[in-house]
């Protein structure tokens, strides 16, 4: 990234600077799953898993304006911005606010309702599992869009896999209904207050959460009308 960047107002400002990345582990194989037989052909891959550090101001683009307005609106609601916003990250041209889960609903309401923000649309929530991010193994990532101002940002909430509870945003963004169900189904994140948090893709009696990194990769027998289909690691292998 260059030392200066061109924001919307046309003046040069210093490029945002991030703290050093936080290394949380080393991933082996394509997906990082262990103990299930990696049939992807990429079992020999080894790479470092790192989380981007907080970014210092100025953030550039419209990001400073959004951050200022959000922090001011939180103060008006008697919330301390530093308690609600754990860190702000500008990475690869995207703005992400890391939010403490107990303040998630109120932050989302401010982002939706404040006239200077007006992030009216949440296009979904995604789950991520980082087994090496101790105490923050499960992440919920929300993608927000302002149709009024033509802006986008992300919210991210981290919780331990021993306490995978996140407040539901369905009351704020009804479009999150099925997205929260899917994230629960695949990652085991429990969205408290969801009107009907049930599996949406996997059978109701399915054991475990298939997109967690500790879930076996292959080796899961599947039944079709009584017929047994061998697990992938029993059908083929890569040298």
Question: Taking the domains of the chain in order of start, what are their residue ranges?
Answer: 54-206
Q: How much of the chain exceeds pLDDT 70, in percent?
A: 79
**Beta-strand pair 165-167/190-192:** parallel
Q: What angle do CA 144, 68, 177 make, to 5 degrees?
A: 20
Own/partner long-range contacts of 218-227 (Cβ < 8 Å, ≥24 apart): 218/36, 218/37, 218/38, 218/39, 219/36, 219/37, 220/36
Q: How much of the chain exceeds pLDDT 90, in percent?
A: 63
Q: How many CB atoms lie within 10 A of CB 191?
A: 23
H or E element in which residue 77 lies: none
Helical segments of the chain, H only: 63-76, 81-84, 104-113, 176-187, 232-235
Residue 216 has pLDDT above 80, yes or no: no
**How far apart are the C-alpha atoms of 172 and 170, rounded to whole Å?**
5
Instruction: State the pTM of this model.
Output: 0.82
pLDDT, greater one: 226 or 115: 115
**How far apart are the C-alpha atoms of 146 and 161, rounded to whole Å?**
32
Amino acid 34: pLDDT: 65
Residues near 172 by Cβ (< 8 Å), separated by ≥ 6?
A: 105, 108, 109, 112, 122
How confident is the model over 196-212, as pLDDT tens digits?
999 999 888 888 999 99
Residue 32 has pLDDT above 90, yes or no: no
pLDDT, greater one: 168 or 33: 168
How confident is the model over 175-196, as pLDDT tens digits?
999 999 999 999 999 999 999 9
pLDDT band at 9 (very low <50, low <70, confident <90, very high): very low
User: What is the average pLDDT value for the chain, to the nearest integer?
Assistant: 86
Q: How many CB atoms lie within 10 A of CB 205?
A: 6
Q: What angle do CA 27, 28, 32 make, to 5 degrees?
A: 70
**Domain 54-206: CATH superfamily, name plus number:** NADH:ubiquinone oxidoreductase Nqo5 subunit (3.30.460.80)
pLDDT band at 14 (very low <50, low <70, confident <90, very high): low
The average pLDDT across 126-140 equals 94
The average pLDDT across 220-233 equals 66
């Amino acid at each position: 990234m260059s030392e200066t960047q061109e924001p919307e107002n046309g003046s040069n400002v210093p490029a945002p600077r991030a703290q050093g990345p936080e290394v949380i582990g080393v991933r082996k194989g394509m997906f990082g799953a262990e103990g299930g037989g990696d049939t992807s052909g990429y079992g020999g891959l080894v790479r470092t898993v790192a989380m981007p550090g907080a970014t210092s101001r100025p953030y550039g683009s419209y990001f400073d304006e959004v951050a200022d307005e959000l922090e001011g609106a939180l103060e008006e609601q008697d919330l301390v911005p530093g308690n609600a916003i754990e860190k702000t990250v500008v990475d690869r041209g995207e703005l992400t606010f890391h939010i403490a889960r107990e303040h998630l609903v109120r932050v989302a309401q401010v982002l939706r309702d404040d006239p200077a923000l007006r992030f009216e649309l949440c296009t979904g929530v995604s789950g991520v599992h980082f087994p090496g991010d101790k105490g923050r193994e499960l992440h919920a990532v929300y993608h927000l869009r302002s149709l009024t101002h033509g802006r986008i940002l992300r919210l991210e909430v981290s919780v331990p896999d021993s306490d995978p509870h996140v407040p539901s945003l369905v009351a704020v963004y009804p479009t999150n209904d099925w997205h929260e169900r899917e994230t629960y189904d695949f990652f085991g994140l429990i969205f408290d207050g969801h009107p009907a948090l049930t599996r949406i893709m996997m059978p109701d009696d399915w054991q475990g959460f298939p997109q967690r990194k500790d879930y076996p990769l292959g080796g899961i027998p599947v039944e079709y009308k009584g017929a047994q289909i061998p697990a992938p690691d029993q059908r083929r292998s890569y040298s």
